[in-house]
């Protein structure tokens, strides 16, 4: 207590007042047996005391009030006599009830007094009687604080006190019960339960026994609310790594506890709060899941913080792999599955240990503990291979002590006393079987370099293998690469430079030989030898450390070869380039791999002006790399735009390569990648956009449109990309045809409606060309011709060339000089003008022979005179903005150009026939590549025109080495765009079918054929849904998937039923699949997610596959097949829902949530018309099933059972589930997998469709169960929608209140609304809430009075004096 002089004065004066109040009491105590008291005397005595205290209290400043109350309570607790205690407590009650002293202050001071002790029975009981009497006038937050303090006080009372303390405990428990009584409404029960859960965080409050039942019952009353904000069976809902919706907030976990991030301290079901081990393990098992795991656990590799839970899961996965290896019975399925798991695990462990999210020694120690006594032997070599990966790469930088747990693990797994045999070194498995011997060599060498000795002799079991390695190292440079001895030596000695240099030099020599020997390349170029790359299985047999040495050597060779003093006309060896491309696939060496490629190799090459090597690297990127992370791809795109502005890049062949690479990057962006990547450049959009290539910028607009549609973000605002679009339009102003605009999302439609470029006047163009052509014919001086036609606007020189060829079929030599001066960059604008001119010419043509003549001339320009490449011309034609008849003419020209002459068809047919698409398995790609180019040489420098005119280029142009590309491969991204343009214009459907018949085989070489089909069918769903277009859908599938025949294994994509459908002859598209068909489609996805062996899909090397893992593959091929069915989206969507709603025998009862998960994954990955059928099911349940539930449970207690009916997990376990709970669980699964763009449609659905139906309490509670779990996500991602939903809920409650005679679950409804307020909305919708609450019945108003001030609602009446 303070000893400040002022406080002493206050204490003295207050003590005097209280002593005066108690004087008569002292006399009465002396003559207690002789004085007769009346109630009136007692009352007057208290009034006198109160008046004196009140007068004094009012003289005090507000700062002194708390101190004065402290003195009062201290004085009270010093009293011994019952009458004195009672009088002082009665005074407290009275002054608090009269608002002289705030009741909250009285309660707080009483409860915090150190003199409050349950052993002093009278004072304890009187204290809680005071609190019980005045608590009703304490504000709601004060009530919460008082309750918290009482509960903390009670925890200080031993739970073993005897019966003598019951009176004291009951007096306190009475106050607790009074505060918790919902009918008193002293405080929102929601904030009270939060305090209880903070104090007693367990599932059942473990408070003092005196109030245990009270607290438990109170907390249990919130279980319905907790269920209303919980996603049904959430642990059973699993994502797909490699699918767009994995990136959202739905999958984030608490990184310390590995639990879902739930809002509010509510009594959630155990499945909602338990560690999500299965989810993390499932994701970890998926190839390419590194970034997903980091996102889920909030891990940042820049922080390098150990995550013990992740570490433990990695160890458990190793144990799972050991168990799986133990089950191998010789069957190929089990063996392949086991090997792929070990390969993936090796990569995961390396990555997470390098990021320092996991500790290597801790992992090895834990592995030893978990494998002890298990007798798991079959997977031991694989395990040692995994450990060798890390040891070989890190033992130089870390002390030997970090690796001492490894020999102990070896002792456990290799108990043999006899030497292990030398494996067959002609098989790649030998590197695994000798991994421990390699580890021992690394440990021994480390000990030697640290001048230490290993604390143990060489294990007897390793002697034979160690001796073999030592002997082999002596003749390393003579060993062939036809077996794996070189790999073994590299793995064993990579930390001993003296011994490592010999085997690794054999690897270097295998990909690059210094000398004069060369091999021919296309375009009269030559390259160094050799041509055969290192086989992939050999690279897989090297440790990461050895691979890093090899890729480091290759990178240095590329950079050194790019220096000016190197022979400029000799290219890198094909073996080196192909091997480099294979090494770039290993994500464990990303820093030296793709990251180094983008950030170091390319800048160095450009710095040295090594344009041939730049061309090589861009080819490698375009035609060899898979699964490059989007930020690397977009970084390369911005770099290409920078290079393209350089003078040196204005080289026909290089410019073509740069533009083609940029086009591939833009069109290859995944739909979920577009917004995150483009948003990186909002401050400076110019980096992302081409300054002059209208085609590239148009391609970016098309990619943006597709991404907005597929991800559902077209329902959101398009403001985020307006600056990008504005900059793009400023760089290259352009319009879009109406039929293309109709397919755009509304935000893009609006932008191009508001921003229109000046339209080209076709007749004016025609007149200008005619005028210029007359000038051309009339001019004879080459200098004058060049001066005039170099500067002519619009850029129409190709139009003049066309006119010359039509008229004379001969060209003047000066034509070459003009084309040379124009250059490939500026020629692009001439091609655009020429494309428009062609359309006008053909539109006004008489037809017949003239059309044939025009096409022949056009064909000559491409193939005979080499004026323009086919892919550039077709791309320009495909992206022009023609309307109506002119658009059809444009596509007619394209069709004739591609199919009527034989040049392109011959090239396509030959390439499809001879070239393999699985480049990673090939050793003789170069020979096939050279043979193809010999038969169909590529010409970029007007060779045909030079030959015809006899002219020469003023500056001789050198061809750059071509390692992979040709016109067919360059045409593929153009073909992608072309197909889309044809789909936008229904009248040209037959032309598209013809193109697919003749050129569809090119999709054999497409790096993402299924994704392309998925995007096409999704984006153009409205265009393809018409009755006449199922045939076109079937043709698309048949051509693109059919192109993979003979390459991909049977069953890799389409179901047998669909294969029968596309193999039908004629135009028969009448097929309505049976229920069983949909069950099989969903079933194979269920089995794939579950990791069933044998898998529904054949095993593939996912590093070179279109998709990163089996589940992503299964999801996309399922969606493509479903979108390609001839039925409507609504029909297919309902059939998918019926897979689980009809409860067929094929769906195991205990596994139904796995099936719901699969259905939800599929249906949310489909266009809106497919997944919106879930809304119809909801309306059907609200209109039909909920009323029937009420009838089934008729009686006074029908609503009491409603929560058990809506609880799918509980009712399903007891086989009592109803349709309404099935729909609820399925809706939760669908919305959980939905992206925020899809969920944004929820508020209008509630407003326009649900709200008119909801009339009863049962319906309202069902709606709360539906939307409650997703409020948290809206809060994080789309606050506007959250507020709209909250308002709709209030308005629905108003309707229910007006149409119901009673509200049975007023408390639960109130708890739910308080949850929304305190967790999400705050006062954001206070006005709407107040408006509704003021009109509700009294019981609801009373409970919701802390949200809004309605008509005067009094608090709880003070309890009767006890």
DSSP calls for 177-216: HHHH-TTT-SS-HHHHHHHHHHHS-SSS----TTTHHHHH
The answer for residues whose C-beta is within 8 angstroms of residue 174's C-beta and 6 or more apart is 128, 132
For residues 150 and 112, give the distance between their C-alpha atoms in angstroms, rounded to a whole number: 9
**Residue 234 pLDDT:** 94
Phi, psi of 795 (to 5 degrees): -70, 100
**Beta bridge pairs of residue 519:** 527
Kindly state the DSSP code that residue 543 receives in the 8-state scheme.
Answer: -
**Residue 80 pLDDT:** 82
Of 6, 4, 88, the C-alpha closest to 53 is: 88
Of 136, 127, 151, the C-alpha closest to 97 is: 136
**Residue 705 pLDDT:** 95
Number of CB atoms found within 10 A of residue 1190's CB: 18
**Residue 712 pLDDT:** 84
At residue 455, the 3 state secondary structure works out as coil
Cα-trace Rg, the chain: 40
The answer for residues whose C-beta is within 8 angstroms of residue 1174's C-beta and 6 or more apart is 1133, 1137, 1163, 1223, 1226, 1227, 1230
Q: Would you state the structure tokens that stand for residue 1243, as one six-digit string?
A: 């508020």
Q: Is the pLDDT of residue 1354 over 50?
A: no
**Beta bridge pairs of residue 570:** 526
Question: What is the distance between the terminal CA atoms of the chain, rounded to a whole angstrom?
Answer: 33
**C-alpha of 1014 from chain center:** 18
Of 638, 637, 544, 630, the C-alpha closest to 591 is: 544
Q: Would you state the structure tokens that stand for residue 829, as one six-digit string?
A: 């604008």
Q: Among 763-767, 994-998, 1159-1163, which stretch is predicted with the lowest mean pLDDT?
A: 763-767
Number of CB atoms found within 10 A of residue 809's CB: 11
Residue with tokens 């003789």: 924
**Residue 1042 pLDDT:** 94
- Quick one: CA dihedral 101, 104, 105, 108, positive or negative? positive
H or E segment and range at residue 1159: helix 1152-1164
**Residue 939 pLDDT:** 93
Cβ-contact 270, 228 below 8 angstroms: no
Q: Is the pLDDT of residue 942 over 60?
A: yes
pLDDT tens for residues 655-671?
999 999 999 999 999 99
- Quick one: CA dihedral 875, 877, 878, 881, positive or negative? positive
Q: Would you state the structure tokens that stand for residue 1097, as one six-digit string?
A: 């899909």
1003, 1036, 1050, 1051, 1052 from 1047: Cα distances, Å? 12, 18, 9, 12, 10
In a 13 Å sphere around the CA of 338, the CA atoms on its Cβ side amount to 23
At residue 901, the 3 state secondary structure works out as coil
Q: Is the pLDDT of residue 906 over 80?
A: yes
Number of CB atoms found within 10 A of residue 192's CB: 22
**Residue 26 pLDDT:** 55
pLDDT tens for residues 1078-1113?
999 999 999 999 999 889 999 889 999 999 999 999
35 or 545: which leads in pLDDT: 545
- pLDDT band of 244, cuts 50, 70, 90: low
Residue with tokens 């765009």: 977
Summarize the confidence of residues 740-761 as an average pLDDT: 92
Q: Are strands 525-528 and 570-571 parallel, antiparallel or unpaired?
A: parallel
For residues 708 and 716, give the distance between their C-alpha atoms in angstroms, rounded to a whole number: 9
Q: Would you state the structure tokens that stand for residue 370, as one six-digit string?
A: 């978990």
% of the chain beyond a pLDDT of 90: 64
**Beta bridge pairs of residue 1048:** 1045
pLDDT tens for residues 140-191?
889 999 999 988 888 888 877 777 778 888 888 899 999 999 999 888 999 9
Q: Would you state the structure tokens that stand for residue 591, as one six-digit string?
A: 């820093």
**Residue 167 pLDDT:** 85
CA angle, residues 751, 753, 754, in degrees to nearest 5:
65
Cβ-count burial of 1143 within 10 angstroms (0-12 exposed, 13-18 middle, 19+ buried)? Answer: middle
For residues 710 and 1212, give the distance between their C-alpha atoms in angstroms, rounded to a whole number: 34
Summarize the confidence of residues 322-350 as an average pLDDT: 88
Phi, psi of 1092 (to 5 degrees): -65, 140
In a 13 Å sphere around the CA of 602, the CA atoms on its Cβ side amount to 25
**Residue 1362 pLDDT:** 39
Q: Is the pLDDT of residue 578 over 90?
A: yes
- pLDDT band of 1132, cuts 50, 70, 90: very high
Cβ-contact 433, 419 below 8 angstroms: no
At residue 525, the 3 state secondary structure works out as strand
Cβ-contact 1155, 1147 below 8 angstroms: yes
pLDDT tens for residues 825-864?
999 999 999 999 999 989 887 777 888 899 999 999 999 9
pLDDT tens for residues 1199-1253?
567 888 888 888 888 887 788 999 999 999 999 999 998 999 999 999 999 999 9
Q: Are strands 518-521 and 570-571 parallel, antiparallel or unpaired?
A: unpaired
Q: Is the pLDDT of residue 699 over 90?
A: yes
**Residue 1350 pLDDT:** 40
**Beta bridge pairs of residue 526:** 520, 570
Mean pLDDT, the chain, rounded, equals 89
**Residue 12 pLDDT:** 80
At residue 667, the 3 state secondary structure works out as helix
- pLDDT band of 1355, cuts 50, 70, 90: very low
DSSP calls for 743-778: TS-HHHHHHHHHS-PPPP-HHHHHHHHHHHHHHHHH
CA angle, residues 1010, 1014, 1016, in degrees to nearest 5:
115
Summarize the confidence of residues 953-975 as an average pLDDT: 93
For residues 432 and 412, give the distance between their C-alpha atoms in angstroms, rounded to a whole number: 17
The answer for residues whose C-beta is within 8 angstroms of residue 889's C-beta and 6 or more apart is 839, 842, 843, 882
Summarize the confidence of residues 395-412 as an average pLDDT: 92
Q: Global pTM?
A: 0.93
**Beta bridge pairs of residue 785:** none
DSSP calls for 967-1034: HHHHHHHHHHHHHHHHHT-GGGHHHHHHHHHHHGGGGGG-S-HHHHHHHHHHHTHHHH-STT-HHHHH
The answer for residues whose C-beta is within 8 angstroms of residue 1083's C-beta and 6 or more apart is 1096, 1146, 1155
Q: Would you state the structure tokens that stand for residue 1046, as one six-digit string?
A: 């003979």
H or E segment and range at residue 528: strand 525-528
* Long-range CB contacts for residues 426-432, cutoff 8 Å, separation at least 24: 426/482, 426/483, 426/484, 427/484, 428/484, 428/487, 428/537, 428/538, 428/540, 428/541, 429/381, 430/484, 430/488, 431/385, 431/484, 431/487, 431/488, 431/491, 431/541, 431/542, 432/381, 432/382, 432/384, 432/385
Summarize the confidence of residues 317-322 as an average pLDDT: 95
Q: Is the pLDDT of residue 302 over 70?
A: yes
């Amino acid at each position: 207590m303070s000893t400040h002089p002022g406080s002493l004065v206050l204490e003295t004066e207050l003590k005097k007042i209280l002593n005066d109040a108690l004087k008569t009491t002292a006399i009465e105590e002396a003559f207690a047996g002789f004085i007769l008291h009346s109630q009136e005397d007692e009352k007057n005595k208290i009034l006198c005391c109160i008046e004196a205290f009140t007068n004094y209290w009012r003289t005090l400043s507000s700062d002194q009030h708390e101190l004065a109350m402290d003195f009062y309570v201290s004085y009270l607790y010093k009293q011994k006599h019952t009458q004195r205690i009672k009088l002082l407590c009665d005074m407290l009650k009275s002054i608090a009830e009269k608002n002289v002293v705030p009741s909250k202050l009285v309660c707080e001071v009483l409860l915090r007094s150190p003199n409050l002790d349950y052993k002093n029975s009278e004072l304890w009981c009187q204290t809680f009687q005071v609190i019980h009497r005045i608590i009703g006038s304490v504000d709601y937050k004060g009530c919460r604080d008082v309750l918290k303090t009482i509960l903390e006080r009670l925890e200080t009372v031993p739970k073993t006190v005897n019966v003598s303390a019951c009176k004291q405990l009951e007096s306190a428990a009475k106050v607790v019960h009074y505060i918790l009584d919902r009918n008193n409404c002293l405080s929102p029960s929601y904030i009270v339960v939060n305090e209880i859960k903070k104090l007693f965080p367990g599932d059942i409050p473990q408070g003092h026994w005196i109030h245990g039942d009270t607290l438990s019952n109170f907390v249990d009353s919130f279980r319905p609310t907790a269920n209303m904000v919980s996603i049904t069976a959430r642990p059973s809902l699993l994502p797909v790594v490699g699918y767009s919706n994995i990136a959202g907030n739905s999958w984030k976990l608490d990184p310390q506890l590995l639990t879902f991030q739930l809002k509010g301290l509510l009594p959630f079901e155990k499945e909602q709060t338990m560690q999500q081990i299965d989810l993390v393990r499932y994701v970890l098992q998926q190839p390419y899941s590194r970034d997903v795991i980091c996102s889920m656990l909030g891990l940042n590799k820049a922080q390098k913080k150990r995550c013990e839970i992740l570490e433990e899961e990695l160890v458990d996965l190793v144990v799972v792999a050991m168990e799986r290896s133990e089950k191998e019975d010789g069957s190929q399925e089990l063996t392949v599955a086991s090997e792929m798991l070990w390969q993936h695990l090796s990569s995961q462990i390396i990555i997470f240990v390098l990021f320092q999210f996991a500790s290597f020694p801790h992992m090895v120690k834990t592995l030893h503990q978990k494998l002890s006594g298990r007798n798991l032997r079959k997977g031991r070599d694989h395990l040692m291979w995994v450990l060798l990966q890390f040891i070989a790469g890190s033992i130089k930088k870390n002390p030997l002590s970090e690796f001492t747990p490894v020999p102990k693990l070896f002792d456990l797994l290799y108990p043999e006393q006899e030497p292990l045999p030398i494996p067959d070194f002609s098989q790649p498995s030998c590197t695994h079987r000798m991994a421990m011997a390699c580890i021992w060599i690394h440990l021994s060498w480390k000990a030697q370099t640290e001048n230490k000795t290993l604390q143990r002799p060489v294990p007897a079991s390793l002697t034979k293998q160690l001796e073999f390695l030592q002997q082999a190292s002596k003749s390393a440079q003579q060993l062939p690469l036809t077996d794996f001895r070189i790999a073994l030596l590299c793995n064993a000695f990579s930390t001993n430079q003296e011994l490592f240099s010999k085997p690794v030099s054999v690897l270097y020599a295998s990909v690059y030989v210094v000398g004069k020997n060369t091999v021919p390349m296309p375009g009269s170029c030559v390259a160094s030898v050799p041509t055969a790359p290192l086989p992939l299985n050999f690279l897989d047999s090297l440790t990461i450390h050895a691979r890093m040495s090899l890729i480091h050597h290759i990178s240095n060779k590329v950079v050194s070869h790019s220096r000016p003093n190197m022979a400029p006309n000799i290219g890198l060896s094909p073996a080196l380039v192909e091997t480099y491309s294979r090494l770039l696939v290993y994500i464990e060496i990303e820093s030296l791999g793709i990251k180094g490629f983008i950030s170091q190799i390319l800048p160095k090459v450009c710095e040295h002006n090594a344009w041939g090597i730049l061309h090589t690297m861009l080819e490698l990127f375009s035609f060899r790399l898979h699964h490059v992370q989007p930020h690397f791809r977009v970084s390369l795109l911005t770099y290409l735009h920078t290079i393209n502005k350089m003078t040196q890049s204005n080289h026909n062949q290089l410019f073509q390569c740069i533009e083609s690479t940029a086009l591939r990057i833009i069109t290859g962006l995944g739909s979920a990648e577009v917004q995150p990547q483009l948003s990186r450049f909002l401050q400076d959009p110019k980096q992302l956009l081409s300054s002059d290539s209208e085609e590239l910028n148009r391609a970016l607009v098309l990619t943006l449109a597709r991404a907005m549609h597929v991800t559902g973000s077209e329902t959101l605002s398009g403001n985020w990309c307006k600056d990008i679009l504005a900059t793009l339009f400023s760089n290259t102003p352009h319009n879009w045809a109406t039929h293309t605009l109709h397919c755009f999302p509304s935000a893009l439609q609006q932008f191009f409606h508001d921003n229109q470029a000046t339209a080209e006047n076709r007749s004016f163009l025609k007149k200008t060309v005619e005028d210029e052509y007359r000038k051309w014919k009339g001019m004879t001086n080459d200098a004058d011709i060049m001066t005039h036609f170099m500067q002519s606007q619009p850029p129409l020189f190709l139009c003049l060339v066309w006119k010359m060829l039509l008229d004379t079929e001969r060209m003047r030599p000066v034509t070459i000089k003009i084309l040379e001066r124009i250059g490939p960059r500026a020629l692009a604008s001439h091609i655009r003008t020429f494309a428009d001119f062609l359309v006008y010419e053909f539109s006004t043509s008489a037809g017949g022979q003239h059309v044939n003549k025009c096409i022949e001339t056009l064909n000559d320009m491409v193939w005979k005179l080499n004026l323009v490449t086919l892919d550039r011309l077709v791309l320009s034609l495909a992206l022009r903005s023609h309307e109506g008849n002119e658009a059809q003419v444009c596509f007619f020209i394209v069709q004739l150009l591609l199919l009527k002459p034989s040049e392109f068809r011959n090239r396509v047919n030959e390439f499809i026939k001879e070239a393999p698409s699985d480049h990673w398995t090939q050793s003789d790609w170069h020979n096939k590549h050279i043979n193809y180019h010999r038969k169909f040489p590529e010409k970029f420098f007007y060779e045909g025109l030079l030959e015809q005119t006899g002219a020469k280029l003023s500056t001789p142009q050198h061809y750059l080495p071509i390692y992979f590309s040709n016109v067919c491969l360059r045409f593929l991204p153009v073909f992608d765009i072309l197909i889309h343009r044809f789909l936008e214009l229904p009248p040209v459907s037959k032309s598209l079918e013809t193109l697919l018949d003749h050129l569809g085989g090119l999709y054999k070489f497409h790096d993402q054929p299924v994704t392309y089909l998925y995007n096409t069918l999704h984006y153009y769903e409205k265009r393809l849904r018409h009755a006449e277009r199922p045939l076109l859908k079937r043709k698309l599938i048949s051509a693109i998937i059919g192109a993979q025949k003979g390459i991909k294994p049977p069953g890799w994509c389409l179901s047998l039923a669909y294969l029968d459908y596309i193999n039908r002859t004629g135009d028969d598209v009448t097929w309505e699949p049976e229920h069983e068909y949909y069950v099989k489609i969903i079933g194979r996805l269920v089995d794939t997610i579950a990791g069933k062996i044998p898998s529904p899909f054949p095993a593939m090397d996912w590093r070179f596959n279109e998709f990163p893992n089996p589940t992503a593959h299964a999801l996309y091929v399922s969606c493509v097949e479903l979108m390609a069915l001839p039925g409507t989206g609504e029909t297919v969507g309902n059939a998918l829902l019926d897979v689980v709603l009809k409860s067929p025998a094929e769906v195991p009862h205990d596994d139904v949530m796995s099936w719901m998960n699969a259905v939800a994954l599929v249906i949310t990955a489909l266009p809106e018309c497919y997944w919106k059928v879930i809304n119809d099911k909801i309306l059907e349940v609200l209109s039909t099933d909920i009323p029937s539930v009420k009838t089934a449970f008729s009686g006074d207690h029908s609503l009491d059972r409603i929560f058990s009916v809506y609880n799918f997990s509980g009712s399903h376990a007891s086989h009592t589930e109803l349709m309404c709970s099935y729909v609820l669980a399925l809706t939760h699964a669908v919305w959980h997998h939905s992206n925020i763009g899809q969920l944004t449609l929820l508020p209008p659905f509630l407003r326009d469709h649900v709200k008119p139906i909801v009339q009863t309490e049962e319906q309202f509670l069902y709606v709360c169960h539906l939307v409650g779990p997703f409020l948290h996500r809206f809060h994080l991602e789309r606050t506007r929608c959250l507020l709209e939903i909250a308002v709709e809920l209030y308005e629905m409650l108003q309707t229910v209140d007006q149409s119901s005679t009673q509200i049975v679950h007023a408390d639960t409804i109130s708890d739910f609304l308080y949850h929304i307020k305190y967790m999400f909305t705050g006062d954001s919708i206070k006005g709407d809430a107040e408006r509704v609450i003021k009109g509700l019945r009294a019981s609801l108003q009373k409970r919701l009075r802390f949200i809004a001030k309605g008509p005067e609602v009094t608090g709880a009446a003070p309890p009767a004096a006890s």
